[in-house]
Structures are given as structure tokens and as C-alpha cells.
Structure 1
Amino acid sequence: MKFSSLPASLEAALAERGYAAPTPVQAEVMQPDAIGRDLIVSAQTGSGKTIAFGLAMAREILGDDEKIGFTESPLALIIAPTRELALQVSRELEWLYAKAGARIATCVGGMNPQQERKVLRSGATIVVGTPGRLRDHLERGALDLSGLRVAVLDEADEMLDMGFREELEEILDATPEGRRTLLFSATMPRPIEALAQRYQRDALRIATISEGRGHGDIDYQAVTVSPPEVENAVVNLLRYHEAETAILFCATREKVRHLHATLQERGFGVVALSGEHSQSERNQALQALRDRRARVCVATDVAARGIDLPTLSLVIHVEIPRDAETLQHRSGRTGRAGKKGTAVLIVPFSRRKRVESMLRHAKIPANWTDAPDRAAIKERDRARLLEKLLQPVEADAGDAELAEQLLAQRTPAQIAAMLVQAHRASLPEPEDLIANTPDARRDAQNERHRPGFEDTVWFRMALGRRQNADPRWVLPLICRRGHVTRNEIGAIRIGPDETYFQIPRQIANRFAAAADRSARDGSDDEPVAIEVSESGPREAARDNRRQHRGRDNADTPRVKAKPAFKTFDKAKGNKNGKPGKPFKGAHKHKRP
């Protein structure tokens, strides 16, 4: 099928960009039964959906004319979840409607709102923006939607996942009743169905992806590792694939910072994207990837939404996605526009069952394997290096003269060896990984202690997450109170209202005596009591669950639970039972 029945200006724009035939989703929205109707389109990222809704709304924007005159209010509104996706949509629509004379206004966070309002007042034909910024302009009276003919929700499921339901409803409620609503979403959860029922009429459903949520152009791999080996596995995966561009997904900003620093130290060209980066920093990072100055991007889920990098061929899930939809959206950054891609999940031994369940739910077949070791990487390096060095080159007179001088002083074999070494020197070294054996898996699952911690005693203190307990200051506090070093403290478990930690049995009595003395010496205004725990954190957690189950039963009288430990200092709560202020001692030792 070819592009047909389109205004001449759009056909010319598509021809200039090399579009010979429409993608499946583009072909579907141009079918006769789709013209003029509300649409619910299920299409994967990278399928050409931006051009698809650009073509679908052509009749509403152009009518029977080839040129667009001045409009007092926008004719089309496109809402996208992120700044990057909104900017990408604007760039696509600009060239598509350039010959028709359309004016595009982009309204996103991080940009100058006054400049955006000026563009809106100048007669924008199409407005593209993020929900928060669009609602702000709407409430300030800068965005007039009274003449709107078509509204497009791009990646609607993502916007709902990000908590933009209220903004979307306020914006759509301000649009005319007779406008078209085009809803594009990779998945169709219940909230999307509810949104469609409220704001669409007799919508036509278009599905261009199979029932399974995985992408056919993506090779899914699941790599099992020991929990401490996750970062080493990342290094080896990057070295094994040597992708032109790769993106690594983490769950938190802290993890992004840490992994970004780790990879920089190892010699990778890497950039970071997270919510703590400004729009300018995000633009610079993306430009570095497009210019090939960087090949690896470490990002959080929200920061990476809407990123479109044509050379992206590898996605690594450093931390397991929270659900099947997140897995799909992360992986969908690659395997776009018919290109092949690879998505790798790094799975600690203890999380394998959860990942297997997620993959079954997503109907994604994955190849379970081990992380590539040094030998596999070296073998790939040899093949890639040989291919690269055997490629024909054009040498100018200066290069030829230098080559003659080298041949006069070294043998061809020596020159070849020097060339190989020079190429290898630019590659980060692979890591040595623990072999994926039954013993290694058993050790990881049993949380094998380091030497000297085979026999330990659990201690407990009344500080937890609700009192802002953090390992960065809890560890120095334990050292100071018990007169021990960091190397003499084992595992630390921080719960909601208490923290447990291990001390080797041979020094446990000495530690307990020192902790008791330091509590009485007056160095702290409110000393935190530290004492031996006979049960440890697991037994305490089990008792806590039993108490909560008893309280949830309406037929069970509420009996005050007998404390498992003797009374000691604790944070005071308010009358509503909410946690009170942290310990003064906690504040004192928060930054050792």
C-alpha cells in the first residue's frame, strides 16, 4: 500500500523524507472506516505512530484547503507524557505540516512559559505538550481550546501510570463536545478503557501488535547472577554486545548516580538521565548519544520515556521492572522501526521465580542464560577487531609515508601486533564473575557471611525508617556506642521502627558492655538503647504480621501485644498514632 488520498502538501513532505509506503498503524488510520471517527489505537513504540496520528488528523486541520490560514485558537492538541516525547512529536509534525503552513507550539516543563504563551497567542495551529504545563496554560487563560477539532493522547497508559489522570480530565473537559479523540496506547489496562468510555464516542479499535505484549523485533534474554555481581554483569554485557547505543534502566536516582560513576571509572562513554537533571542537562546527554560522544545511557523509567535514538540496540534492565507494562515500555526503546534489538534482564538468583512469572504474564519468551565471561568477550573482541582492521581504508600521502617508515623499522607482524594492542587499549576490561553453579546459587540464597561471621549475635535498637534511620549514620553510631570498627559489624536490617545488626559472638559481651556504658556516660542527650535480640529480625517481623492479622479480624478483641523486649527509649508518637520526630541522637549522628 502506498500513501494515497492525502493532501498534496503532506504527500510531498513524506516523499522528501523517503517514506515510500506506510507502516501498519499508518495504513490502518487512513482506512475509509477510520476517517472522522474516534480511535483507540494499540501500537508499540517505534511503529511510526507519530506520523500515523499526524495523517489521521489531516482532514480536521486542512479540510479541503492545501494551506492553513491564521487560526485564533488551536485546531489540534497532542498530549504526551514527557518532555522528550513532546519535543520529538513537535519535530515530526513540523516537517510533516511545514508545506501546509501549520504553526506548531510546544508547551513542556523546563522551558520558558512566557515564550510559550507568546507562541500560543500568535495563532498556533497544533499544540503539543505535557499534561502539567498544558493545564497551567489552560488555567492562566493562555490556552484556548474552544475551537479544537481533534485531541490526541500519545502513550496514554504512561500518562496514567505517572499520575496525570486529573490533568488529562481537566484538559479534555475544556475541549468542545464535537472534537475527535485519538487515543494511542501500547497497552490497554482498565484505566485506559474508562478514559475512552468517558471521552470518546463510538470509537474504532485498531490493534497493530499481537496479543502478546513482547516486541517481535526484540530478543529477550534473562541473565542470572549472584546479587553482588550485578554491576560486574552490566560491565560484561556492555563489553560483550558492544552496542552502538545502549540504555541501562535503574529504579532510583541514587542507583543511576552510582552506576553512572562506576561505568565512567571503568572507561565507558556514559551519560545519566533522572528526575534530578535539568532540561538543559537532559538535552546535552541526549545530544552526546546522538553525536556518538557517549554510547551508554543510565536512566530511570520516567526520565527515559519518550527517548527515540535510532542507533539504540541494547536495553539492560539493571533492576527488575515493577510489572509487565514497565518491562515492555523499557524494552520498547529498542527494536524500533523494523530494526532488531536486544533486551537483557539481570536477575539475582533469589528473584528468578518473580521474573519468570512476569515474563509469562507478558507472554514474552526469554532465553535464560549466564552473564558472558571474560573468555566469551575476548572471543567476540577478536572477531570484531579482525573485521574492523580488514576493512579497506583510503590513505593520503602523509599516511602512506608514515606506513613506509614503520615498515622500514618494524616487521609487518610487529606492526600488526602494535595495531591490535592499540585497539584493545581503548576497550574497558571485562570482569571476572562468580560461576553460575548450584553452590553459588545456594550461597547467595543463604546469604553466606564473610569469614569471621559464621557465628553471630543479633542486637536491636529502637531506630527505624520512620525515624529516618539510614546506614550512612547508623553504622558510625554502632561503632561509637560499642567501641568496634566497621569490619566487626555484620548484616544490618533496618525495619519500620527498629534496626537489627550482627556482632560476632566472640566479642558480643564486650560490645554489649561498651554500649551500656556509653548510654550512661551522658555524651548523648537521649541515648538510643542497644540490647541483645534473642529472636532476630525475621522472628520479630513474623510476630508483627501476626499482630496485624489479629487486629484486622473484627471478631478478635484488641489486646495490647506483649513487648518482645524490655522497655527502652523510643520515639514519641502523636495522638493519632503517627510517628513523631526522630531521636535527638539520630539527628546528632546523622552526618558522622
Structure 2
Amino acid sequence: MKFTDLGLDAAILRAVADQGYDTPTPIQAQAIPVVLARRDLMAAAQTGTGKTAGFVLPMLQLLSQDGNLSIKRFKPRALVLAPTRELAIQVQESVKTYGKHLKLRSTPIFGGVGIGPQTRILKAGVDIVVATPGRLLDHVNQRGIDLSGIEILVLDEADRMLDMGFIRDIRKILSLLPKKKQSLLFSATFSDEIRGLATGLLDNPASVEVARRNAPAEAVAQCVYHVDRERKRDLLIRLIEENQWHQVLVFTRTKHGADALAERLAKAGISAAALHGNKSQGQRQRALEDFKRLKTNVLVATDIAARGIDIDELPHVVNYELPNVPEDYVHRIGRTGRAGSSGEATSLVCIDEHKLLRDIERVLKREIEKRVLPGFEPDPRIKAEPIMKPRGSGSGRTAATPGKAHGGFRPPQPAKSSRKAPARGGLHHSGSRHQ
């Protein structure tokens, strides 16, 4: 099947061809005809499937075909809700890329930046708003946006928005939308909570699921290194240097942990940067750009921030600390091994994390290869210590943070609230209100 077989208009096909693509991914092939038929859609798509183009392309076509091209102040026609500002920005980039031959206006709306410029853009009038829930409600409260004209609603990465505690914001937003609209819900998994949300939102939706639930990328080679908690940093440095890894995404559980590890790597002569919610928008964008251009070799990120990362052919992902939720492991390693490329996912596991590892293997339905690097053999005399839940995590999930004994990190203080190619992974890319 080709994009030309999906019923897309010439202007959109031209924009897709400009990017060098002619064959849709499975999620695109299934979702695009459903959306063009103006049906509601409930789609399950793992990271790296190209889901963003699956809704952006038909949304652009429907809006441009309706003949309602008069721009109204403060009153957009389509709304995409995204969990993070990174994802909002990248969805907006996709809208611009594939709508460049159309007379449609769009803008991203997210926190962490001044609200004035966004208000001025909304006042001038746009067709499509791509927004994070918290900042969108800020505009609603200031009468800077009127949602009564929304024709198409997209909830992107709905599972992540619920995990981040955005459910109340989402329900508030839904109450402001017209009852008659087309609604599209995209989620990595269909949890009971997601199904409950869909029941109240979607009208006789088509259902699309393109990957087995919690299935990791088949092209990802996974392994575990058993190591004592105090020696993880030294082992990571050794692996990076001996294997000459030039582009590595490393996951930690906490913001403070990400900062401390990036600093340690830099002292060892490895170019590294941290990426998390306490960084300013400018800092986060610079860190991502430097990592993509290989100016920085290692990016140390929390799960929330890493949802904004979309890099073709990312070779290495390292779980410096295992996540408390097994599904998050799947999301993490899904950053590599995309679009047919091979990738490696390495996990550094201390005695405290053995239960977490068993939970992950239960979800994967297989064991992960275990390794021990000579010189880093675990000390059998060390006993497991509890992985403490951080205070003020702001997430709907149980998170964990290492204490002083976990690599020398201190527990973080409560934080103040504050994909471009359609056939190569789309956009994926978690909560404070201004995330």
C-alpha cells in the first residue's frame, strides 16, 4: 500500500513526498481512512509506529475540505492535547511540515514560557491548537481561547496524560467542547482507566491496535548487567568508553539523579547533559539539539522528559535505574531499534532492583540476558535496600528514587509546578501543570 491509496488530497501527498516517503506505516494505513471517514477512533500504538502522521494527515485534509476557512479570533477548529511541551512542539512541527501547501494556521500552547505571545497568536486566529492541558486551561481562565468551535479533538499519548495526573484537567477541557465533534484517542496501552475515558468521549469508535500490548521493539537487543548500586556510575563510564558509544540515552528515576550522573560523566571526560522537567524550555531544546547533532554524546533523562525525544537510529538506551512500572521499561527501550534499525538496551541492575527486573520480564514474557563485567561483580554481602518513593513526585504512578546509599544521590526536593517523518516513527515524545 502507498500513501496515494489512502484517499489523501494532492496537496498533502505532495508534502509527504517532499519528505521522501511513499509507504505508510501500519498505524497510518489503518487510522487515516477511518479519520477521513469522520469516525471516532481509539488507537493503540507503541512508540516508533508513526502515529502522529496517522492523525495529522487526515486532520489537515478534513479541515481544508470543509470550506470553513475563515479564521476566527480565539476560536480554533481542531485541538490536539499532548502530555508534554516537547510533544506539543513536535506535533506542531508535523502539522507545519505536512500542511505547508494548505492555507491552515496552527500554534503550540504550552507552559514554561510567557503566556502573552500565545494569547496574541490565538487572538489573530488559528485553525489548529496543539496544547498541554495545564496551559490550555490557563488560556481558558483568561478568556484567551474559545473551545466551542472545535470540530476535531485528538488526545495524544492519553495513557501518559492520565499517568501524570491530568485527568481532572482533561475532563474540564472536555466539558468545554461541543458535543458534536470527531474525537481521536491515541494511547500506548488500553488500561481500564483509558477505556473508561474513551467510553465517555468516543461515539461508536473504530478500534486500531498495531502492536501487541507492551511489546518491545523486536530489533532491540536487551541485556542486564548485575552490579552493586555504588558502582553503577563507574560501570556506565566503562561501557561507554570501551564500546565507544557515541550517542546514548540514559534513564534515571529522578531529576536530581539525572543532574548528578551527567555531572559525573562530564568529570570523566564524557560529553553529557541532563534533561528533565526542572530545566527551562530553552535548556531542554538545546540539550535535545546538541544530542541529535552528536555535540553531546550522553543525554541523561527522566521518563517524563524523554517522552519528547524522537531520534532516528538512536543506537543505545541505558536503564541506569529500572522504572517502577514495567510498561515504562517498554517505553524507554522503544526509543531505539526504530524504523527497522537495530538498537541496544542495557540495564544496570543492583540487588535493590531484582523484583523490578522480575516484573519487567513477566511483562515481556521472557528473560533478559544477564551479564557481569569482570571487575564489577556484585558483592554477595550487600543486602537489598528499599527504593523510596519521592515526595512531591506529581505523577500518578509510583516512582522511586535512590537515597544516599544509591550511588550517593540524595532524595530530590519537591519541584515547584511550574515526530517529523510519517514513516519513521512519527512523533512521540510527562506532571506539572506547565509541563
TM range (shorter): 0.7 to 0.9
- 1:8/1:363 CA distance change after superposition, 3 Å: same
2:57 aligned residue: 55
2:248/2:298 contact within 8 Å kept: yes
- 1:216/1:69 CA distance change after superposition, 3 Å: farther
Q: Counterparts of 2:148 and 2:103 in 1: how far apart (Å)?
A: 21
Q: Counterparts of 1:361 and 1:175 in 2: how far apart (Å)?
A: 37
1:39 aligned residue: 41
Cα offset, 1:119, TM superposition: 0.8
1:70 aligned residue: 71
SS at match of 2:204: coil
1:221/1:345 contact within 8 Å kept: yes
1:265 aligned residue: 267
2:413 aligned residue: none
Paired residues in the alignment total 387
What is the percent sequence identity of the aligned residues? 34
SS at match of 1:443: coil
2:258/2:301 contact within 8 Å kept: yes
Q: Counterparts of 1:232 and 1:33 in 2: how far apart (Å)?
A: 50
Q: Counterparts of 1:367 and 1:166 in 2: how far apart (Å)?
A: 41
1:584 aligned residue: none
Q: Counterparts of 1:347 and 1:353 in 2: how far apart (Å)?
A: 10
Cα offset, 1:208, TM superposition: 0.6
1:248/1:317 contact within 8 Å kept: yes
2:129 aligned residue: 127
1:153/1:182 contact within 8 Å kept: yes
2:81 aligned residue: 79
Please show how residues 268-279 of structure 1 align to structure 2 within 5 Å: 268-279=270-281
Cα offset, 1:264, TM superposition: 0.3
Over the aligned positions, Cα root-mean-square deviation in angstroms equals 2.4
- 1:121/1:350 CA distance change after superposition, 3 Å: closer
Cα offset, 1:111, TM superposition: 2.1
- 1:242/1:102 CA distance change after superposition, 3 Å: farther
Gaps of 5+ in 1: 374-432, 448-464, 473-493, 495-592
Cα offset, 1:197, TM superposition: 0.7
SS at match of 1:345: strand
Q: Counterparts of 1:29 and 1:365 in 2: how far apart (Å)?
A: 34
Deviations 1:192-240 (CA, angstroms, capped at 9, x unpaired):
1111011111111100112443222322212111222211121123234
- 1:338/1:115 CA distance change after superposition, 3 Å: same
For 2:325, which of 323, 326, 345 is the aligned residue?
A: 323
Please show how residues 139-288 of structure 1 align to structure 2 within 5 Å: 139-288=141-290
Q: Counterparts of 1:232 and 1:112 in 2: how far apart (Å)?
A: 41
Gaps of 5+ in 2: 392-402, 405-409, 411-435
Letter of the 2:2 partner, please give it: K
Q: Counterparts of 1:321 and 1:71 in 2: how far apart (Å)?
A: 45
- 1:245/1:205 CA distance change after superposition, 3 Å: same
Cα offset, 1:365, TM superposition: 4.8
Bigger Cα Rg: 1
Q: Counterparts of 2:258 and 2:200 in 1: how far apart (Å)?
A: 39
Q: Counterparts of 1:232 and 1:7 in 2: how far apart (Å)?
A: 55
Letter of the 1:442 partner, please give it: P
State whether structure 2 residue 415 is matched by structure 1 residue 442: no
Q: Counterparts of 1:210 and 1:34 in 2: how far apart (Å)?
A: 25
1:60/1:150 contact within 8 Å kept: no
SS at match of 2:193: helix
Higher relative contact order (CA 8 A, sep 6+): 2
SS at match of 2:382: helix
- 1:244/1:181 CA distance change after superposition, 3 Å: farther
SS at match of 1:30: helix
Cα offset, 1:88, TM superposition: 0.7
1:479 aligned residue: none
Give the number of the structure whose residues are more often helix, by fraction: 1
For 1:136, which of 114, 135, 138 is the aligned residue?
A: 138
1:425 aligned residue: none
Deviations 1:326-373 (CA, angstroms, capped at 9, x unpaired):
1122222222233222222211135324312222124365222224x5
The 4+ residue runs of structure 1 with deviation greater than 6 A are none
Q: Counterparts of 1:219 and 1:46 in 2: how far apart (Å)?
A: 16
- 1:147/1:350 CA distance change after superposition, 3 Å: closer
Letter of the 2:99 partner, please give it: Y
Q: Counterparts of 1:157 and 1:190 in 2: how far apart (Å)?
A: 10
For 1:356, which of 328, 334, 358 is the aligned residue?
A: 358
- TM-score of the aligned structures, taking structure 2 as reference length: 0.83
Q: Counterparts of 1:244 and 1:272 in 2: how far apart (Å)?
A: 16
